[in-house]
């Protein structure tokens, strides 16, 4: 029999020893044994590991090199994987299951608190979850419970999935996924400190990335490098100049306390190529006598100042409607994380994020000395600079802007046209309120063609 499990995994900070942030993510466990992959067999025998491919990687256990704590696996015995009679695909199924288990046992005390108590200087909690199936409902229950228990702590949610964008699925299933993600959104945007929807495929991608969208291994690797790089400042030692806690990141992108949905973007580069560019710029600066980076001013256009990332991971179903908006996108806040010698503007805050009378975007950048290590278990999906390098330079950013409002309104309009959704009017009203938070203090009626 196949069972579904939830995994609570400690996040290794790479520098500070004891973990300051914890994350939760669902995994699938099968009670019948899975044959050990050749990769794992060679590792156990201290033999050279073979090259992994999407064809040889079927399960996460085929390539994972992490040792999981036995107590981190929590089995959900009520459901079987791919069960046709009782599929784990509906938001209500996941939420009802959480409430059922919560009545039987205090899940926070039983499953999470033992790990939390081992943390020194807990910053917050990170949750990685699928949102277009039952895991969205399951996480909604957990999130509301965590907010009651840790009201003042940062709780970040990274929502994974394409939310009805996969045309290979029947239309009915795609609509159910969209409904699930919309209901998850209405809870996450209210209860989470920051909610970052992440697509399985970027809306735009450069020529240096080669990946298979149907490979969970490739998709997970792409999401992992963006997520880990974006939050690396929170895992540095407090004495490091590039240190930035989860709360610091939140303060930049969410000055009002209500704009909790952020877009994720990132770029990849060969660190050696970046170093060569820095050397060239330094020589040019010596000739001109200026090495000052560009900073935002009210006379500059936002699009010219803020970094345009190579890959946009904003979730497919939250992208703008088919009719292109004529309104100019306004950015409220941007927090960037650079691993490597990136030459980026806005190395200092362009304005105080708490200043609500300044319409300019708040921009803050953090730099970490650690490049992203490419292990032999990581797929060779990035071909940058001089080829497939063993370490990658990453520049990632979270942005809050009016584009979020447009896409939330698109989802709200789709929900109004769908039938069979319980409490549809209440859901749509909640989505409207979320979108309005991105209009406050900004003239949303201005049009780009008139500027």
Dihedral angle computed from the Cα positions of residues 287, 288, 290 and 295, in that order, rounded to the nearest 10 degrees: -130
56's CB contacts (< 8 A; 6+ apart) are 37, 38, 39, 50, 62
- How many whole angstroms separate alpha carbon 203 and alpha carbon 264? 11
3-class DSSP assignment, residue 400: strand
For the ranges 266-275, 365-374, 384-393, 395-404, the lowest mean pLDDT is seen at: 384-393
**Mean pLDDT, range 416-427, rounded to an integer:** 79
Under the banding of pLDDT at 50, 70 and 90, the label for residue 191 is: very high
The predicted pLDDT at position 129 comes to 93
- The alpha carbon torsion through 404, 410, 416, 417 (nearest 10 deg) reads -160
* Interatomic CA distance for residues 261 and 181, integer angstroms: 14
- The CA dihedral of 22, 23, 24, 29, to the nearest 10 degrees, is -100
For residues 41 and 35, what is the distance between their CA atoms, to the nearest angstrom?
Answer: 10
Task: Write down the pTM of the prediction.
Answer: 0.83
**pLDDT of 26 higher than 60:** no
Most confident of 35-49, 63-77, 84-98, 348-362: 35-49
Say if residues 179 and 296 touch (Cβ distance below 8 Å): no
Strand, coil or helix: 177 = helix
pLDDT at 451: 40
Distance, in Å, from the CA atom of 338 to the CA atom of 328, rounded to the nearest integer, reads 27
Q: What is the pLDDT of residues 146-188, one digit of tens each?
A: 999 998 899 999 999 865 456 667 888 888 888 899 999 999 9
Task: Name which residue leads in pLDDT, 143 or 28.
Answer: 143
Tally of residues, the chain: 451
Task: Give me the pLDDT at residue 233, please.
Answer: 94
Task: Determine the Cα–Cα distance for residues 278 and 283; give it in Å rounded to an integer.
Answer: 9
pLDDT at 445 over 60: no
pLDDT band at 29 (very low <50, low <70, confident <90, very high): very low
Band the pLDDT of 306: cuts 50, 70, 90. confident
Whether 448 shows a pLDDT value over 90: the answer reads: no
CA 194 → CA 56, 262, 418, distances in Å?
Answer: 36, 7, 28
Res 440: pLDDT: 63
Share of the chain above pLDDT 90, in %: 39
**pLDDT for position 251:** 93
Q: What is the pLDDT of residues 112-151, one digit of tens each?
A: 998 898 888 889 999 999 998 899 999 999 999 999 999 8
Ranking 316-320, 345-349, 413-417 by mean pLDDT, the lowest is 345-349
CATH number assigned to the domain with residue range 1-451, chosen from the 4 options 3.30.1360, 3.40.50, 3.40.462, 1.10.10 = 3.40.50
- pLDDT of 344 reads 58
Given a cut of 60, whether residue 242 has pLDDT beyond it is yes
Query: pLDDT band for position 387 (50/70/90)?
Result: low
Helix (H, G, I), strand (E, B) or coil at 277: helix
pLDDT in tens, 249-290: 999 999 888 899 999 999 999 988 887 765 565 555 445 444
pLDDT digit string (tens) for 342-373? 875 544 444 455 555 555 688 999 998 899 99
> H/E element holding 348?
none
What does the pLDDT read at residue 84? Answer: 64
Instruction: Count the Cβ atoms, other than its own, within 10 Å of residue 282.
Output: 11
Q: Is the pLDDT of residue 20 over 70?
A: no
The pair phi, psi for residue 383, each rounded to 5°, is -120, 90
Q: What is the per-residue pLDDT for 199?
A: 87
What is the gyration radius of the CA atoms in the chain, in angstroms?
22
pLDDT score of 431 more than 90: yes
Is the predicted pLDDT of residue 227 greater than 80, yes or no? yes
Q: Where are the domains of the chain?
A: 1-451
Q: Is the dihedral of CA 264, 265, 268, 271 positive or negative?
A: negative
Average of per-residue pLDDT values in the chain: 78
Q: Let me know the angle formed at the C-alpha of 177 by 327 and 126, rounded to the nearest 5 degrees.
A: 80
């Amino acid at each position: 029999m196949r069972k579904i499990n939830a995994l609570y995994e400690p996040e290794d900070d790479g520098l500070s020893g004891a973990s300051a942030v914890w994350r939760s993510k669902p995994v699938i466990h099968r009670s019948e044994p899975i044959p050990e992959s050749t990769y794992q067999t060679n590792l156990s025998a201290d033999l050279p590991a073979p090259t992994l491919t999407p064809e040889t990687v079927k399960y996460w256990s085929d390539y994972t090199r992490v040792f999981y704590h036995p107590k981190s696996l929590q089995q959900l015995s009520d459901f079987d994987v791919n069960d046709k009679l009782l599929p784990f695909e509906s938001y209500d199924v996941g939420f009802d299951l959480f409430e059922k288990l919560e009545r039987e046992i205090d899940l926070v005390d039983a499953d999470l608190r033992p790990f939390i108590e081992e943390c020194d200087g807990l910053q917050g909690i990170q949750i990685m979850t699928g949102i277009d199936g039952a895991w969205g409902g399951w996480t909604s229950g957990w999130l509301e419970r965590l907010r009651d228990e840790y009201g003042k702590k940062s709780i970040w949610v990274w929502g994974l999935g394409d939310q009805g964008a996969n045309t290979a699925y029947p239309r009915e299933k795609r609509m159910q996924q969209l409904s699930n993600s919309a209901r998850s959104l209405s809870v996450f945007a209210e209860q989470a400190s920051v909610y970052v929807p992440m697509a399985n495929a970027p809306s735009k991608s450069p020529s240096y990335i080669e990946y298979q969208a149907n490979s969970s291994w490739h998709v997970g690797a792409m999401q992992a490098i963006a997520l880990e790089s974006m939050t690396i400042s929170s895992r540095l030692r407090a004495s490091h100049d590039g240190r930035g806690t989860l709360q610091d990141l939140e303060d930049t992108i969410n000055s009002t306390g209500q704009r909790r949905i952020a877009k994720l973007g990132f770029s990849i580069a060969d660190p050696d190529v970046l170093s060569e560019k820095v050397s060239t710029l330094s020589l040019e600066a010596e000739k001109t006598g200026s090495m000052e980076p560009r900073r935002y001013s009210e006379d500059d256009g936002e699009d010219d100042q803020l970094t345009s990332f190579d890959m946009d991971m904003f979730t497919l179903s939250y992208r703008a409607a088919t009719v292109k908006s004529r309104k100019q996108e306004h950015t409220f806040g941007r927090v960037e994380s650079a691993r490597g010698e990136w030459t980026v503007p806005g190395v200092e805050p362009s304005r105080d994020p708490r200043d609500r009378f300044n319409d300019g975007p708040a921009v803050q950048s953090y730099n970490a000395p650690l490049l992203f290590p490419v292990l032999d278990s990581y797929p060779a999906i990035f071909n940058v600079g001089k080829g497939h390098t063993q370490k990658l330079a990453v520049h990632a950013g979270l942005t809050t802007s009016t584009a979020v409002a447009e896409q939330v309104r698109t989802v709200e309009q789709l929900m109004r046209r769908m039938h069979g959704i319980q409490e549809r009017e209440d859901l749509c009203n909640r989505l409207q309120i979320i979108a309005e938070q991105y209009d406050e203090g900004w003239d949303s009626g201005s049009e780009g063609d008139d500027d």
